Structure 1
Amino acid sequence: MENQRMTHIAVERNRRKQMNEYLSVLRGLMPHSYVQKGDQASIIGGAINYVKELEQKLHFLGGNKHYTTSRDNSIMVSENHELAMADIEVTMVESHANLKIRSKRRPKQLLKMVSGLQSLRLTILHLNVTTVHQIVLYSLSLKVEDDCKLSSVDEIATAVNQMLGRIQQEAVLI
């Protein structure tokens, strides 16, 4: 009986060691912003969110174009012509918004977008930029400030679309 107990303890110790090694590798594969704490639940939750974002980037960069409004308070606006303006996806939870923009690369586009978002009273908390040839995907985590006049995903998507239209017009004039 004692020998069986000691075997069980050794097996359990090895399982925990292996689990901790896997969690350490998993944590190392993700950007630091996805794991705020070092506990197992935070690492796994961060990994789930990171994989979801990578799936969205893959989908976005793949060129699938459509317009959807879903029950989870999100909206995706896509242009019908080939990336003339941008594909925009906005999701909101309370006073935080996630914004994904896929567009052609243009001179000083990121600088103008940051400035434009600030003027809309949308504070950038996190920004990720992915490029493939002349296509760029911006993934932004935003804080909707109390004095922001935009209160829905539709309003944010429309304002961002208008801002990108101005940026495109300026790029054509250069």
Structure 2
Amino acid sequence: MSHIAVERKRRRQMNEHLKVLRALTPSFYVKRGDQASIIGGVIEFIKELQQVHQSLEAKKKRKTNSSPITTQFTAESNNLKEVVASCKSPMADVQARISGSNVILRTISRRIPGQLVKIIFVLERFSFQILQLNIDSMDDYALFSFVIKIGVECQLSMEELALEVQRSFCTQEFHIKEM
């Protein structure tokens, strides 16, 4: 086989693998179709899946249901300052972080009937606009990933947003009030 034929075969295989990776990755992670964007998006997706896995493992190991909610801030990521607020409790792990001009909000919890509606109500109450929502589930756990736009009227910090969403997991009853 000539060098040219071998190279064509290699490129064809690479393109096929990239198509599979793009198909397996949610569209939010792959914004363009070039090779670098596909691979970068897959890397981000895998990192998030690892975080979900670690969080689920940590929940599995928890022995008590009385651990307090904690909030943490981090600032790093390839020379870009990033604000991340996390609230963890036996009910749910909530993370809010600024990504460009939007906020990425993630929750991991056991499946709770009506919980998604509660979270959406909290977001709308504080003038956030939901741009995208991804729902993933694994066994009896649910992962909600929101991309939200901050409304002009919104005065919440990332810490306050994470705390408000965390509180929605703690309420037994939920009533939508007229605004």
Q: Say yes or no: TM over 0.5.
A: yes
Per-residue deviation, 1:94:
4.1
Tell me, what secondary structure is at the counterpart of 1:34? coil
**Contact kept? 1:98, 1:140, Cα under 8 Å:** yes
Per-residue deviation, 1:132:
4.1
Quote the residue 1:86 is aligned against: 92
Per-residue deviation, 1:29:
1.6
Unaligned runs of 5+ in 2: 63-69, 76-81, 175-179
Per-residue deviation, 1:47:
0.8
Quote the residue 1:74 is aligned against: 84
Identity of aligned residues (%): 40
Instruction: Give 1 or 2: higher helix fraction.
Output: 1
Residue 30 of structure 2 is aligned to residue 35 of structure 1 = yes
Per-residue deviation, 1:133:
4.7
Task: Give the distance between the partners of 1:26 and 1:143, measured in 2 at CA.
Answer: 28
CA deviation vs aligned residue, 1:71-130 (integer Å, no higher than 9, x gap)? 231122112xxx2x4221111134311111123433322112212211211222222223
Unaligned runs of 5+ in 1: 1-5
- The one-letter code sitting in structure 1 at the alignment partner of 2:11 is R
Tell me, what secondary structure is at the counterpart of 1:17? helix
Pick closer, same or farther for the CA change 1:7–1:74 going to 2, 3 Å: same
**Contact kept? 2:71, 2:159, Cα under 8 Å:** no
Correspondent of 1:164 among 169, 173, 176:
169
Tell me, what secondary structure is at the counterpart of 2:73? strand
Quote the residue 1:98 is aligned against: 104
Structure showing greater radius of gyration is: 1
Quote the residue 1:57 is aligned against: 52
Tell me, what secondary structure is at the counterpart of 2:173? helix
Task: Give the distance between the partners of 1:133 and 1:24, measured in 2 at CA.
Answer: 28
RMSD, aligned CA: 2.5
TM, length-normalised to structure 1: 0.77
- Which segment is superposed worse, 112-121 or 59-68? 59-68
Quote the residue 1:149 is aligned against: 155
**Contact kept? 1:36, 1:42, Cα under 8 Å:** yes
CA deviation vs aligned residue, 1:55-83 (integer Å, no higher than 9, x gap)? 1211222235875321231122112xxx2
